[in-house]
Amino acid sequence: MPPLRALAQIELSWTPGMVKGPAGAPVTIIEFSDYQ
């Protein structure tokens, strides 16, 4: 598995409508996906 760059160095943002589950959930899965 290739190492990913440190998350701490990247400011991730997301669109509220593209999130499922409660904001306070202890586990967050961020899925980068391609429809095609």
Residues that bind another protein (CB under 8 A): 1-5, 7, 10-15, 17-23, 25-36
CB of residue 11 to another protein, shortest distance in Å: 8
Tell me how far apart the alpha carbons of residues 24 and 14 are, in angstroms, rounded to a whole number.
Answer: 15
Confirm if 30 and 12 have CB atoms less than 8 A apart: yes
Q: Within 13 Å, how many C-alpha atoms sit on residue 24's CB side?
A: 0
CB of residue 9 to another protein, shortest distance in Å: 8
CB of residue 6 to another protein, shortest distance in Å: 9
